[in-house]
């Protein structure tokens, strides 16, 4: 029986086991996928288990997507570009780190806003997932990404990677500046805890601006609720999550699974439980 895991901290709410185990069954693959809560000092053991083939593949989530990198032998091109790894496996005796979040974000846009030309974007947040979002936007030929983050220093990491594509604004600018952008993405963890809120001025954007929140649990953050109430198209992080899982499954199993109706129903039911 092949064993796969997702590691993170916290990890309780991960839906990855549900999705991967659904696809294992659908594709008649004898494998299990479990969530494992780890501390930073436990990362080495995980890599050791992959080396010894006790574990075939691991997904990596918050807060280890960067921290895992020094323990790996090789990075894929996209993991290198983003310095972010969410998929690990062994190939030719080497432990490889890959990034499927870029694919996830890009494919969610391709599915949900297929005809939208996304030239300029306001990205709120510069945390762990932001390099993957900027890389995906770069791939779809976005030419301006305006970034607001509470901690200004984190912008420098993105500036070093993406150069003139990214521009910084102040956190407080979100409350009063006007934004002529095609897409606004919230990549902060605000909205995870229902009590906290983003102070965004929704009258500062065009009616055609699409709002995207990478959070999918809750299904609709108050940020998206407000945007929708103002008549904007809104997207939550569910499709990004499912597409990153699909790509990881492909890498590990050399099979392309489908995000079918039954899977969507299962996931949505779990989110509403
Ligand atoms: P990580 O960097 O591991 O992805 P995180 O701590 O969950 O994780 O933070 C993700 C993003 O949410 C960051 O942009 C963070 O801003 P800082 O860089 O200033 O920490 C943002 N964030 C979290 N709580 C916030 C808050 N109360 N106000 C504004 N931004 C917040």
Could you read off the pLDDT of 164-203 as tens digits, one per residue? 999 999 999 999 899 999 999 999 988 777 667 788 999 9
Q: Is the domain of 106 the same as that of 233?
A: yes
Residue 71 has what pLDDT?
98
**Cis-peptide into 150, omega within 30 deg:** no
Q: Whose CA is nearest to atom 30 of ligand 1?
A: 150
Ligand 1, closest atom to CA 63?
3
Could you read off the pLDDT of 127-171 as tens digits, one per residue? 999 999 999 999 999 999 999 999 999 999 999 999 999 999 999
- The CB-side HSE value for 66 (13 A sphere, CA atoms) comes to 11
pTM, full prediction: 0.96
Residue 23 has what pLDDT?
98
SS3 146: strand
Distance 190 CA to ligand 1 centre (A): 7
Q: Is the domain of 94 the same as that of 108?
A: no
Q: Is the domain of 151 the same as that of 119?
A: yes
Residue 68 has what pLDDT?
98
Q: Is the domain of 84 the same as that of 35?
A: yes
Pocket of ligand 1 (CB under 6 A): 62-63, 125-129, 149-151, 154, 188-190, 196
| Most informative mutation of 156, 189, 192 for ligand 1 (most atoms within 8 A of CB) | 189
Q: In what order do the strands lie in the sheet with 31-37?
A: 31-37, 2-8, 57-60, 87-91, 94-98, 74-75
Structural domain that includes position 34: 2-99+239-272
Q: Is the domain of 193 the same as that of 135?
A: yes
Q: Is the domain of 220 the same as that of 114?
A: yes
Residue 199 has what pLDDT?
83
Q: Is the domain of 112 the same as that of 210?
A: yes
Q: Is the domain of 225 the same as that of 188?
A: yes
Say which CATH number the domain at 206 has: 3.40.50.720
**In this structure, are residues 87 and 251 in contact, taking their beta carbons and an 8 Å threshold?**
yes
Residue 198 has what pLDDT?
84
Residue 139 has what pLDDT?
98
Domains identified in the chain, total number: 2
For the chain, which residues score pLDDT lower than 70? 194-195
Q: Is the domain of 255 the same as that of 226?
A: no
195's CB contacts (< 8 A; 6+ apart) are none
State how far the Cα of 13 lies from the Cα of 264, in Å rounded to an integer.
Answer: 17
Q: Is the domain of 21 the same as that of 89?
A: yes
**In this structure, are residues 169 and 200 in contact, taking their beta carbons and an 8 Å threshold?**
no
Q: Distance between the two ends of the chain, CA-based, in angstroms?
A: 30
Q: Is the domain of 71 the same as that of 148?
A: no
**In this structure, are residues 256 and 250 in contact, taking their beta carbons and an 8 Å threshold?**
yes
Q: Is the domain of 156 the same as that of 201?
A: yes
Distance 256 CA to ligand 1 centre (A): 33
Distance 191 CA to ligand 1 centre (A): 11
133 exposed, middle or buried (CB, 10 Å; 0-12, 13-18, 19+)?
buried
30 exposed, middle or buried (CB, 10 Å; 0-12, 13-18, 19+)?
exposed
Residue 161 main-chain phi, psi, to 5 deg? -80, -45
Catalytic residues: 65
Say which CATH number the domain at 77 has: 3.40.50.10860
State how far the Cα of 133 lies from the Cα of 138, in Å rounded to an integer.
Answer: 9
227: which 2 tokens? 């945007």
Residue 250 has what pLDDT?
98
State how far the Cα of 265 lies from the Cα of 251, in Å rounded to an integer.
Answer: 25
CA angle 45–241–66, rounded 5-degree value: 40
């Amino acid at each position: 029986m092949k064993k796969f895991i997702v590691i993170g901290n916290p990890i309780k709410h991960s839906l990855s086991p549900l999705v991967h185990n659904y696809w294992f069954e659908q594709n008649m693959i004898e494998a299990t996928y479990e969530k494992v809560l780890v501390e930073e000092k436990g990362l080495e053991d995980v890599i050791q288990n992959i080396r010894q083939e006790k574990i075939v593949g691991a997904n990596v989530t918050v807060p280890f997507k960067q921290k895992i990198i020094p323990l790996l032998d090789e990075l894929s091109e996209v993991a290198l570009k983003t310095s972010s790894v969410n998929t690990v496996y062994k190939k030719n005796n080497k432990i490889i780190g890959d990034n499927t979040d870029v694919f996830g974000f890009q494919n969610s846009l391709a599915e949900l806003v297929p005809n939208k030309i996304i030239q300029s974007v306001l990205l709120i947040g510069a945390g762990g997932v932001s390099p993957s979002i900027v890389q995906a936007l770069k791939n779809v030929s976005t030419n301006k990404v305006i970034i607001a983050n509470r901690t200004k220093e984190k912008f420098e990491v993105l500036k070093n990677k993406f150069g003139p594509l990214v521009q910084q604004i102040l956190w407080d600018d979100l409350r009063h500046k006007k934004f002529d952008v095609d897409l606004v993405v919230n990549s902060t963890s605000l909205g995870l805890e229902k009590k906290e809120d983003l102070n965004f001025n929704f009258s500062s954007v065009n009616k055609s601006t699409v709002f995207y929140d990478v959070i999918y649990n809750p299904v609709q953050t108050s940020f998206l609720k407000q945007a929708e109430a103002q008549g904007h198209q809104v997207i939550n992080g569910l499709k990004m999550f499912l597409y990153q899982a699909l790509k990881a499954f492909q890498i590990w199993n050399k099979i392309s699974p489908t995000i079918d109706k039954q899977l969507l129903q299962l996931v949505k039911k779990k989110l509403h439980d």
